[in-house]
Amino acid sequence: MLAGSTPESRPPCPGIPNLPKSRRGTFKELWGRLFELYTVGLLGEFYPSVSQMLTPDKKFTNGQIDALLEFGADVFVFEMKASMLTEPAKRLGDRAEFMKDLILKFVRDNDGKPKGVLQLVNSCTAIENGTVKTATIPTRIYPVLVSDEPMVESFCFNAHLNEIFQNELGSSIAVQPITAMSVKEFEEVLTCVSQGAFTWGDLLTSRFNNHGVGPFSVHQAISDLVQKSKIQLQRSQIIKKTFDEVRSIISSKYKAQT
């Protein structure tokens, strides 16, 4: 970074035009929708409709659940959020700036509309009080936030987000601490669970402690459990197939002209 410059003041990279402010909102909405389609669609590849475990896009009076995964008494509630923290929030070391942007991107927007954390509070509460019906009455409800913001893997990020979640949730018997993971970690979990290295419940509860959620990332928990299981994991063919399809599309569109 140039001395005295900020992300807003630096000139754009040569040949890369800035997106006009008037179009940024539309771009964010489209990107958010694509992110949701990818992540929920990926869940559908691992849990096809015939399994009757996955319910995508579950709507209820006060909101909508991106994906609901049921394993008997254990229910996993997913909120897919394509929210990126600003560079100043991540780089300046200013707590106030960080908290302001964290709340804006992951809790509530400037109009008070619920974002990821509050959406999960509403969804989990609706399941616990029976507003949203599940196949069996759940004894454990696990809220999961999947984001394309890499910082969710940072030390203590999830622990801090859980403090906010618990304050918003209030008293609950069934609802477990929130788990925040990056999309990369999400893909890793699906691969490991599908090959029997551990279950969703094993992974999430391994990170819980008396204070809520431990300081380490989901990736660290994955590594610990895989080593413990002694299973030799294979590359997920489902994820590889998706990657190959996207690479083919990009290559055909942007390959060098000869």
Contact in structure between 193 and 229 (CB atoms under 8 Å): no
Structure tokens that stand for 49 in this block: 């409709």
Which is more confidently placed, 231 or 222? 222
Q: Each residue of 105-127: b (16+ CB within 10 Å) or e?
A: bbbbeeeeebbbbbbbbbbbbbb
pTM of the predicted structure, to 2 decimals: 0.85
Nearest to 66 by CA among 74, 77, 76, 75: 77
d(CA 212, CA 72): 24
Strand 208-209, strand 212-213: pairing: antiparallel
- What is the band of 37 on the pLDDT scale with cuts at 50, 70, 90? very high
d(CA 15, CA 192): 41
180 three-state secondary structure: strand
Stretch 113-120: mean pLDDT: 94
Strand 54-60, strand 63-71: pairing: antiparallel
Nearest to 43 by CA among 254, 205, 208, 200: 200
Structure tokens that stand for 161 in this block: 């987000």
Contact in structure between 63 and 119 (CB atoms under 8 Å): yes
At residue 224, the pLDDT reads 95
Which is more confidently placed, 192 or 239? 192
d(CA 126, CA 114): 15
| Percent residues over pLDDT 70 in the chain | 92
At residue 14, the pLDDT reads 44
Q: If you compute the radius of gyration of the chain from its CA atoms, what whole number of angstroms results?
A: 20
Domain at 30-182: CATH code: 3.40.1350
Asked if pLDDT for residue 9 goes beyond 70, the answer is no
At residue 246, the pLDDT reads 81
The amino acid present at 220, given as its one-letter code, is Q
Beta bridge partners of 181: 146
CB atoms closer than 10 angstroms to residue 33:
12
d(CA 18, CA 14): 10
Stretch 241-253: mean pLDDT: 84
Residues counted in the chain: 258
Classify the phi-psi angles of 63: left when phi > 0, otherwise alpha if psi is within -120 to 50, otherwise beta. left
Tokens 């992110």 — which residue?
35
Nearest to 207 by CA among 166, 170, 158: 158
**The sheet that has 140-147: what strands, in order across it?**
54-60, 63-71, 74-81, 140-147, 179-182
